Structure 1
Amino acid sequence: MNKAFTKEDDGGGPERLPDLPISPHPNHVTPRGLAALKARAAALEAEVGRLRAEQETASDLTPLAVAERDLRYVEARVSSAILVTPPEAPERVQFGTTVVVVDEEDREATYTIVGEDEADPEKGLITHVSPLARALLEAEPGDVVDWVKPTGTVALEVLEVRGPE
């Protein structure tokens, strides 16, 4: 068989996993989001170091490959981060602000507009590129915005806009 078609031994290290996809959107982050990314990078660096030390005795190198892949992703996100410090007393919904809304059935909800890596919808942290955030951005208290969802359009009245908590 031609040598060009054979896999050479790379020294016994873990196989490099493909990189995780990076969002095409600008990587806007809040100060809290950037701190979380940096803490995650530090934790992954420590994990990679620990796993490399165990590499000689480990039979499964998959955890090391996963940790290295995750570290590459987080380092890329930290290096591309665009820090946006939200205003202390905002008059309208902006990146990093918290907004309280009420829907047509008088249900209140609170959302904070954050970067993609910080988003956690169950905690009310929504990414700035989500349809909900795009509907809310630039709205002021008293405004009614239309949130277009797959199940239909929901009218939301902005009750309050707050700075970072």
Structure 2
Amino acid sequence: MKYGSIVLEKKEFVTIKQLLNLSESYKETVRKQSVLRLHEELKNAIVLDEEELPEDVIRFNSYVVVATKDGWQNEFQLVTPTESNFSNKKVSVLTPMGLAIIGYAKGDVIDWEFPGGVKSLEIKEVKQTEKV
């Protein structure tokens, strides 16, 4: 892990904690495990002001490319649940994929439980949206 722990911006840290508290009742085992794992990671998260956040850290609205060792690759934008739109490659932070990558940085490799089993994901690229 590039920074030793996941790295989050202060406002996003609060939002994520609120979203996780609302989603603790998930019945689906994989999603529930993902929520619980992110809860654990939040205990040691590095929380920074927006201007201190490294550019290569995945946050809300980041464009991300992830890949596995078996050749699978996916590119998408990580968004809040209300902005989620699979056909437009906008993945909610509350999906197993979103829960797995939030706060990680380019080059990190994450072993995470997905519906198809444990996968080792590598963060290949992280691009931030332009600030308006």
TM-score by length of 1: 0.44
What's the CA shift string for 1:105-128, capped at 9, x where partnerless? Answer: 122211211111211123321111
1:90 and 1:97 in contact (8 A); partners too: no
- How far has the Cα of 1:139 moved from its partner? 1.2
Specify the code of the residue in structure 2 equivalent to 1:25: L
Runs of 4+ in 1 over 3 A off after TM superposition: none
- How far has the Cα of 1:130 moved from its partner? 1.6
Q: Which residue of 2 aligns with 1:153?
A: 118
Of 135, 146, 149, the match for 2:100: 135
- Of structures 1 and 2, the larger Rg is shown by 1
Of 104, 114, 124, the match for 2:79: 114
Q: How does 1:10-159 map to 2 (within 5 A)?
A: 25=19, 90-159=55-124
Q: Which has the higher contact order (CA 8 A, sep 6+)?
A: 2
Q: Which residue of 2 aligns with 1:4?
A: none
For the residues of structure 2 that align with 1:123 and 1:103, how far apart are their CA atoms? 22
* Count of matched residue pairs: 83
Specify the code of the residue in structure 2 equivalent to 1:147: W
Instruction: Give the secondary structure class of the aligned counterpart of 1:105.
Output: coil
Q: Which residue of 2 aligns with 1:42?
A: none
For the residues of structure 1 that align with 2:88 and 2:69, how far apart are their CA atoms? 22
Between Structure 1 and Structure 2, the one with more strand by share is: 2
The percent of aligned pairs where both chains have the same amino acid is 24
Q: What stretches of structure 2 of length at least 5 have no aligned partner?
A: 1-17, 21-49
For the residues of structure 2 that align with 1:97 and 1:122, how far apart are their CA atoms? 17
